[in-house]
Amino acid sequence: MTEQLIELNVTGMHCNNCALSVHKLLEKKGLHNILVDFAGEEVKFTKDNEASLPDIIKSIEQLGYKVVEDPALHAPKFYEKVENKFLFCAIFTAPLLLHMISPWHVLHMPIVQLLLCLPVFIVGCVHFGKSAWHSVKGGTPNMDVLIFIGSTSAFVYSLVGTIQNLGEQYQFYETCATIITLVLLGNVFEKRSVNQTTSAVKDLVKIQQVNANRIIDGTIEVISARDVRPGDVLIVNHGDKVPVDGDILEGNASVDESMLTGESIPVEKEKYDKIIGGTIVVQGNFRMIATKTGSNTVLSQIIELMKKAQAAKPPVQKLGDKVASIFVPAVVLISLLTFVLTYFITDKGLQQSLMNAIAVLVISCPCAMGLATPTAVMVGLGRAAKGGILIKGGDTIEAVADTKYVVFDKTGTLTTGKFSIGEIKIEGETPIEQVCGIIVAIEERSNHPIARSLVAELKGKPQNKVILKLVSEEKGLGMRAEDVEGNHYFLGSAKSNNDGLFNLALYKNQVLLAQIAIDDTIKPEATALIAQLKKMNIVPVLLSGDRQSRCTKVAHTIGIDEVHSEKLPDEKLSVIDIYKQKGKTIMIGDGINDAPALTKADVGVSMNDASQIAIQSARVILLNTDLQSVVKFLQISRHTLLTIKQNLFWAFAYNVVAIPVAALGFLNPMVGAFTMAFSDVVVIGNSIRLKSKRIG
C-alpha cells in the first residue's frame, strides 16, 4: 500500500506539550513522518496502514482539540474562546476574593461561596478536565492534569466542609476559582504571545490573499489568486500585488521585491522577465502569463519551508521534551509526597497538608519548558525571513553554533557572476561567427552564471546559428552537445598548460576549435565580509573548480588564506569532509557542481539566483545576493540559540526553585497559579524581544 500524505488543521493547541500529546497519539496509531505545529495549527503525517482518517480525527478531538477544514474560516463559538472563558470566570472569582478583605457577612456564607465557585469549577472541568482525562488515557499526561487535580482537590475539600458544616477553616472555594481563572489568564497571554511569534508566516500568507485581473476574450475578470491557472493571461497595474509567478508578455514596471529579497530598491522588469507572486508594482503596468500557481509559486514554497522549519526541533529542545514528558507524573508524585510528609510527619493538619500539595501542583509549569524553544525559533526564523534569509529548519540554527569554517565557492558567490569575454582565440580556420553561434547554442541550455554571461554578451555579435538536438551538463566539467548533423561538441574548463589566461575551451568532434578568456568581478562587499568573519574567529576558505591562478588572485584580493582550486564535485566533497573533522563547517555555493558539497557540510547556504539543485541541497537560502546576509544569518542564529538557552534556564530554574518552596508551605495555591502564568509570559516575552533586539 502506497504512503498517503494527510494534512489536518487542528485548533486548540497552545504549547509544545499539546503538540507532544498529538504526536504521541499519532505514533501509537502507526503513522509516519509526523509533523505537529501547534502555533501554525497544522498536523501532517503519512499513513500506509489501515487506520481510517475519521478514527484518527476522532482520537485527536478526544484529546480536547478540534479538527477544522480551514482555520481562517473557522470561527470558534462564543463560549469556546479562551478570552471569554477567562472573563466569565473572573466575574465570579472577584467577589470570592473580596470576602478576604470585606467584612460583608453574606460573602462569608459557605453556600454563597459555593454558588459563586460552582460556575468557575464547571468551566475549569470542561476546559481542563476533558483534556486531562484524554491525555492520561493516551499515556501522555499534560499540564491540564495538574490544574485539574489542584482545583478539584480545593473544591472537594471545601464542599465536604460545607456539607458537614466544619467551619471557615475548610472554605477554600476562592483557591479553586482563582487557580482556574489565573491559568485561563495565562492561556490568554500565551495565545496572544504565540500569535506574535508566528507573525512572519501569517504575514506571508496574507500576501497570497489577493485578487487577479484575468483577461478572457478581451474583457477583464476579477478573480481570487487561488483560482488562477497556469497559462492564464493577467494584467497587473501600478500599486497591485503580483498574484502568481509568471513571465511578462508586454509592458514594463518597477517592482518592489523586498518581500522576497529584503532589498528595498525596486527592480526594473520588462518583456520576457520573470515576475514573482507577492511582489508589488511600484510604477508601470504589464501583461503577464501565469507559469506557477497555488503551491508551486515561490511564495508558497517559502511559506511551506518556514512552517517545516518552525516545526523542526533543534537538539537543544530534546532535553526539554524529555523532561516535559516525565514532568507531570513526577509533579503528581511530589505533590502526594508533600501531602503525606506534611500530614503524617510534621503534623500540620489536613488543611495545611492539602494546601501545600495543591500549591505544588499549580506552581509547576511544563508549559514554560514547552514554549522555550519553539517560540524563540519562530521569532528567529521570522526575523531572518524579513531580512531575506530563508532557513529551512529550526535545527539549522543550532547546527551553525560555534562555526569554525565558512567555505566559499568562487563564481557567483564571492564574485558577481557577471562575466566579460577578454579574448576568444580561434584554433584553426573556423570562422569567429561559427564559434560564437556554437557557444550561444550550447550555453543557452545552462543555468550557470558563466553561461548566462556568455550568452548575454555574444547575442549582440554576428554569429552562425547552430541547431542542437541534444545537450547535457556534466558536474564540474562543462557542457556536451550534439547538433542535427551528428557533430559532437564539448565546452568546458581549458586543460592546456597556458598561463591561466584562457579558462574555457570549445571542442568539435574532439578537435580544439577555440579557447576563451573570461573575467568575473569580485562582489564589492566580499572584502568586508571576510574581515568580519575573521573578527568572529571563523576561518574563511575558498573552494572552486576554477584555475589556480584565478582563485589565488580572488583570495588574495579579499583576504582569504586557505585556497583549494581546480576541484571537481567529488573532490569538493573530500575537502569539506576534512574541514568537518576539524570543526563546524558552513558551505556557501550556487551551482549544480556545489550541490553535493552543500549537502555534505554541517550547513549548506545557497544564493537565491543559484541553480534549483543547489537551492534544494542547501539548508539556508540567501534571497538577497548581498554577502552581508551571511553575517546576518550567523548573528541571528547565535542570538536565537542564546534566547533558547535563556528560556530553558528560566523555565527549569523556575520549577527547581518553586516546587520545593511550595512543598514547604511558603506559597499558597493562588500565588502559585499567578506565578505559573507569569513564567509563561516571561519565556514568551524573552522570545519576542528577539524581534527587535540588536544583534550586530
Choose the catalytic residue: 409, 483, 520, 590: 409
Which one-letter DSSP state was computed for residue 619? S
- CB half-sphere exposure, 113, CA atoms < 13 A: 29
3-state secondary structure of 102: coil
Residue 331 near residue 361 (C-beta atoms within 8 A): yes
d(CA 591, CA 34): 32
Radius of gyration in angstroms for the set of CA atoms belonging to the chain, rounded to a whole number:
32
Name the amino acid, one letter, at 382.
G
User: Which of these, 25, 35, 39, 670, lies nearest to 370 by C-alpha position?
Assistant: 39
Beta bridge partners of 519: 420
Order across the sheet with 415-426: list the strands. Answer: 415-426, 511-522, 504-508, 488-493, 478-483, 468-474
Across the beta sheet with 603-607, the strand order is: 389-391, 620-622, 603-607, 584-589, 403-408, 539-543, 562-564
- Phi/psi region, residue 53 (left: phi>0; alpha: psi -120 to 50; beta: rest), is alpha
Report the distance separating Cα 394 and Cα 378, nearest Å: 8
Measured CA to CA, the distance from residue 411 to residue 90 in angstroms comes to: 64
**Is 409 assigned a catalytic role?**
yes
Pairing between β-strand 468-474 and β-strand 478-483 as defined by DSSP bridges: antiparallel
Q: How far apart are CA 509 and CA 488, in angstroms?
A: 5
Q: Which residues contact 560 (CB under 8 A, 6 or more apart)?
A: 408, 530, 540, 541, 542, 554
C-alpha cell at position 383: 526575523
- Helix then strand then coil, in percent of the chain rounded to 5, is 50, 20, 25
Dihedrals φ, ψ of 102, to 5°? -100, 135
Structural contact between residues 472 and 480, judged by C-beta atoms closer than 8 angstroms: yes
Neighbouring residues of 19: CB distance < 8 A, sequence distance ≥ 6: 13, 36, 37, 38, 370
Q: Hey, which residues are catalytic here?
A: 409
